[in-house]
Amino acid sequence: MAANEFIIRQISVFSENRPGRLAAIAHALEEERVNIFAFSIAEASGFGVVRALVDHPVRAHDRLTKDGFNVAFTDVIAVRMRDEPGGLYEVARLLGEAGINIEYSYAYSGPEGAVLILRVDRPEAAIAAITAAGKDLIPSSAFA
């Protein structure tokens, strides 16, 4: 199985840190019938990047670009975790021992379990380490 099957396209949206910007992004995605699985906001001085894992990344990208946003795709991977104490430790230790650095990460917990989304310095090595440990990665085919 090719490693890049597990590389997922996150959309990253540049946003000024002022009222209404997240609402503008969310409203555009609603109008495009794009569902958000998980998202996070990273903040620096006066601006931020909204990161989202969505079911239709291309549609989301095109619409937000049309609305004037600065949008980019970023490669991430998504790992299923046990939704119980120690679930995060298991994945984090695995990557740490493989010498893979996590640049940032966020998670969601749904009816089908918990998922950890990771931006790492060496995605192919991370995929290999996670697969070798018998953990489940969510394939990019899960997102249209």
Partner 1 sequence: MYWDELHETMRPADLEALQLRRLRATLERVGNVPFYRELLAREGIRPEETRTLDDVRKLPFTKKQDLRDGYPFGFFAVPRNKVIRIHTTSGTTGKPTVVGYTAGDLDHWSDLIARNMTMVGLTADDVFQNSVNYGMFTGGLGFHYGAEKVGMTTVPAGTGNTRRQIEMIDDFGVTALHCTPSYAMHLAEVAEEMGSDLPSLRVGMFGAEPWSDATRTELQDRLGVTAFDSYGLSELYGPGVAFECQEQDGLHIWHDSYLVEIVDPATGEPIGPGERGELVVTPLVKEAMPLLRYRTGDITMLLEDDCPCGRTQRVARFSGRVDDMLIIRGINVFPSQIEHVLMALPEVGDQFMVYVDRDERHLDEMTIEVEIKRQYFSGELADLARLQAKIVRALRDALELRTHVRLVEPGSLPRFEGKAKRVVDRRGNL
Which residues are at the interface with partner 1 (CB under 8 A)? 10, 12, 14-16, 42, 44-49, 65, 68-74, 103
Are 91 and 105 spatial neighbours (Cβ–Cβ below 8 Å)? no
CA–CA–CA angle 103, 141, 82 (5° rounding)? 55
Q: Minimum Å distance from CB 85 to partner 1?
A: 30
Cα angle at 49 between 39 and 141, to 5 degrees? 45
CB of 24 to partner 1, least distance (A): 10
Q: Centre a 10 Å sphere on the Cβ of residue 132 and count the other Cβ atoms it contains.
A: 10
E-strand ranges in the chain read 8-16, 36-43, 47-54, 70-81, 102-110, 113-120
Measured from the CB atom, the residue of 64 and 81 that comes closer to partner 1 is 64
Q: Which is nearer to partner 1, 104 or 108 (CB)?
A: 104
Q: Of the two residues 29 and 81, which places its CB atom closer to partner 1 in the complex?
A: 29
Q: Which is nearer to partner 1, 10 or 100 (CB)?
A: 10
Closest distance to partner 1 from the beta carbon of 59 (Å)? 17
Q: How far is the CB of 23 from partner 1 (least distance, A)?
A: 14
Instruction: Look up residue 13 and give its two tokens.
Output: 């949206």
